[in-house]
Structure 1
Amino acid sequence: MRLIKKLSGILTVFSIFTSLSACTANPINNSYSVKEIKIGVTLYKQDDAFISTITKNIEDIAKEKESNSKYKITIDVVDAKGSSSNQSNQVDKFVSQNYDIICVNLVDRTAASMIIDKAKLANIPIVFFNREPVEEDMQRWNKLYYVGAQAEQSGEMQANIIVNAYKKDISSIDKNGDGKIQYVMIEGEPGHQDSSIRTEYCIKTITQNGIELEKLADDTANWQSAQASTKMTQWIKEFGDKIEVVFSNNDDMALGAINAINNANIIGNKPLVVGIDGIPKALEAVKNGSMIGTIINDSKAQAKAIFDISYTLATHGNMNSIEGLEKGKYIRTSHTEVTSDNVDLYLENK
């Protein structure tokens, strides 16, 4: 009898242990097998329309990926508000909280070394985006990556919009009939690689097409609409309707220029305005005719590249599987020209 009770007790204990083991292994209750991926994102300025679009796309891509994987994915986006000191502190926070990946939209692209050293010491890879560190800094470590756009292409395409309009109807641009285009150039932030490249290739492409240019003025507006509006207001007072084309390194500044033009109540002979980025407000401006065109800077493709690199690194995946990765660390996305001829297509998908 004692033996039977003893065996019964042993069987009961074994049954409980087996049940607990089964519960743990049950895929319905998989909380023990879920790993969290933490991705920290620090932005130079969150109120930059294009940058905020990239981060929104990253968050959307992460949510979709999370629903189809065994990982919980946390995207922590913080705003450096144009301060390198803020950005340095934000990176410290990501390091101290053991984030898997740090994505950095640099405040100052020439001062990346301190951030790189912090991440390297903690062995946390960095994905830089939109603001490319200098080549010397990118070679400091083998866990540094950069995602951006083909800046030369955007400048060339911006020029093509004006070249094509000029060839189609010279009088629509050369309004004073002097055989050349009088223009102003609104440039982005000094030191930003895309700003200088967009300016250079835009002007170079137009002159290579045999069109003579006369620069009336150029100045920086730091990617900001309000600053561009102020600059444009000054130029209108100085040059009046002599300005035939306004080239802008991005759409926010182009929209600021349009605001100044509208406030000046210029009747007829309004300058043609062309931007870059393809943000929704710019597409609407192309549709209503206040902009002759813009260049879509593919924020979705850049967001996908940033996320793909981050996810692959965090899950120890094969980096060679990442589409478009050049030299083991660079991805540069392409652009698309938008004018009144095709803007409806992109407005539908904005």
Structure 2
Amino acid sequence: MGFLLAAASAVALLASPALADKIKIGAAVYGLKAEYMQLWSAALKDHPAVKRGDVDVTVFDGNYTALTQQDQINTMITQKYDAIIFVPIDAEAGATPVEAAHDASIPVIGSNTRVHSDLLTSYVGSDDVVSGYLEGKSVLDRMGCKGNVVVIEGPIGQSAQISRLEGNKKALTECPNVKVIEDQTANWSRAEAQKLMENWLTAHPGQINGVIGQNDEMALGAIEAIREAKLDLKNFPTAGIDGISDALRAVKAGEMTSILQDAHAQAQGALDLAIFYAKKGDYKPESDIWAQYKDMPWNGGKDKIYNVPWTPVTSANVDALLAQRSK
């Protein structure tokens, strides 16, 4: 999405020569194959401080492995980055590099996915339990609270997978007549989800009445499998999470529902906090997100958790969201 990965799996978002007082921030993200994290990473480039040249940001592609992310954060520590933004693939394994950065007096700001560590300086993301409940309820309501559903999970052990599953289960408890007949991970991958759904359609002919995909990529993979099987998509209520471009188009076509996760707000909010802590508090936030989300005030940059609200994608707002994406 507008920039290429370097051989070392890092993307320098600003190529101007470094100044002596320029803030150097690294962003360790779990992976850049799918659109959501590409949108998140692109939002860093659009931050006013980066565009102005006051801050250098480098995005490190973790390639979906905890060990790679740990090595990348160790590199940032060795190279004395001023702050780190962390989007971990594994909530437990991510605690080790956070501790190492903390011991080196480098602030670590979490974003998008959580890490189980009290040493995280702050966190900017969205409550995944809420999104899991909203998407689950969307599917179950259209099923009339009866029948069989399949659940496609994210990478096992990532906080989004854990919390969205909690939300899915909360919705399912409200529909005791609904049975989960398949529940597996597709690792946020559209291709993996398509293969899973192909297998499930073969194993359970005429028995699947709904699809809960813990992200849009996987929901779209399931839809493709249904379409290729020459089945009517109207008989398979399907939901995902993130609000990626293809999902917005699918919502507009009446093929699925989606819950928008604001990548711009999560990334730029995390960067504002990273700059704030890198400058020892001598900084006022510059992103437009603090004015956009009145229920998420800056509060002097001192809050431990900043929750970006979810936005259900509907026929009323989908055209505006698509128009924003095309800018």
Change (3 A) 1:231 1:42: same
Aligned residue number for residue 39 of structure 1: 25
- Return the letter of the residue paired with 1:286: V
Q: Equivalents in 2 of 1:244, 1:192: separation in Å? A: 27
Q: 1:320 to 1:153 in 2, by over 3 A?
A: farther
Shift of residue 243 of structure 1? Answer: 1.2
CA contact (8 A) 1:241 1:269 kept: no
| 1:93-121 deviations in Å (ceiling 9; x for gaps) | 21222211111222322123431232123
State the Cα distance separating 1:60 from its structure 2 match.
1.0
Tell me which residue corresponds to 2:139: 162
Q: Aligned equivalents of 1:339 and 1:101: distance in 2?
A: 38
Q: Counterparts of 1:207 and 1:257 in 2: how far apart (Å)?
A: 24
Which range moved further: 213-222 or 266-275?
266-275
Structure with max Cα Rg: 1
CA shift at 1:154, angstroms? 0.7
In 2, the alpha carbon distance for the partners of 1:154 and 1:346 equals: 18
Alignment of 1:1-350 (within 5 A): 35-61=21-47, 64-66=48-50, 72-134=54-116, 137-138=117-118, 141=119, 144-162=121-139, 166=142, 173=143, 180-205=146-171, 207-208=173-174, 212-267=177-232, 270-291=235-256, 293-317=257-281, 323=297, 328-350=303-325
Letter of the 1:244 counterpart = N
Query: In structure 2, what residue type is equivalent to 1:50?
Result: Y
The DSSP-based 3-state class of the residue aligned with 1:102 is strand
What letter corresponds to residue 112 of structure 2 in structure 1? N
Q: Percent identity?
A: 30
Question: Is the alpha carbon distance of 1:207 and 1:91 closer, same or farther for their aligned partners in structure 2, counting shifts above 3 Å?
Answer: closer
The aligned amino acid for 1:59 is: K
Q: CA deviation at 1:59?
A: 1.5
C-alpha distance in structure 2 between counterparts of 1:55 and 1:241, whole Å: 41
User: CA 1:201–1:67 in 2, change beyond 3 Å: closer, same or farther?
Assistant: closer
Q: Offset of 1:306 from its aligned partner?
A: 0.6
Name structure 2 gaps, 5 residues minimum. Answer: 1-16, 291-296
Q: Taking structure 1 as reference, are residues 119 and 200 closer, same or farther at Cα in structure 2, changes over 3 Å only?
A: closer
SS at match of 1:197: helix
Query: Could you tell me how far apart the structure 1 residues matched to 2:99 and 2:163 are?
Result: 28
Q: In the alignment, residue 287 of structure 1 is paired with which amino acid?
A: K
Pair 1:197–1:92, CA change in 2 (3 A):
closer
Give the SS at the match of 1:56: helix
| 342 and 121 in structure 1: CA distance in 2 versus 1, 3 angstrom threshold | closer
Q: Kindly tell me: are residues 124 and 349 of structure 1, through their superposed partners in 2, closer, same or farther at Cα, counting changes over 3 Å?
A: same
Unmatched tracts of structure 1, length 5 or more? 1-30, 167-172
Residues 125/268 of structure 1: CA separation in 2 closer, same or farther (3 Å cut): closer
- Hey, what's the Cα distance between the residues in 2 that align with 1:204 and 1:163? 11
Contact between 2:25 and 2:85, CA under 8 Å: does it hold in 1?
Answer: yes
Distance in 2, Cα, partners of 1:193 & 1:149: 11
TM-score (structure 2 length as normaliser)? 0.82
Structure-1-length-normalised TM-score: 0.77
Shift of 1:217: 1.3
DSSP 3-state at the match of 1:41: strand
SS in 2 for 1:254: helix
Query: For residues 280-305 of structure 1, what are the alpha-carbon distances to aligned partners after superposition, in whole Å with 9 as ceiling and x for unaligned?
Result: 110011112222x1000111111121
Q: What per-residue deviation string (whole Å, max 9, x for no partner) do you get for residues 252-289 of structure 1?
A: 10011111111111147631211111111100111122
| 1:240 counterpart SS class | coil
Matches of 1:32 and 1:241 in 2, distance apart?
Answer: 61
> How many Å separate the matches in 2 of 1:79 and 1:268?
35
Give the counterpart letter for 1:80 in structure 2. G
Distance 1:76 1:268 in 2: 42
8 Å contact 2:30–2:65 — kept in the other structure?
yes
Q: 1:202 to 1:328 in 2, by over 3 A?
A: same
Q: 1:267 to 1:125 in 2, by over 3 A?
A: closer
One-letter code of the match for 1:45? G
**Deviations, residues 111-137 of structure 1 (Å, cap 9, x unaligned):** 234312321232111112223111xx2
Offset from partner CA, 1:74-111 (integer Å, 9 cap, x none): 11111121233322222222122221111122232212
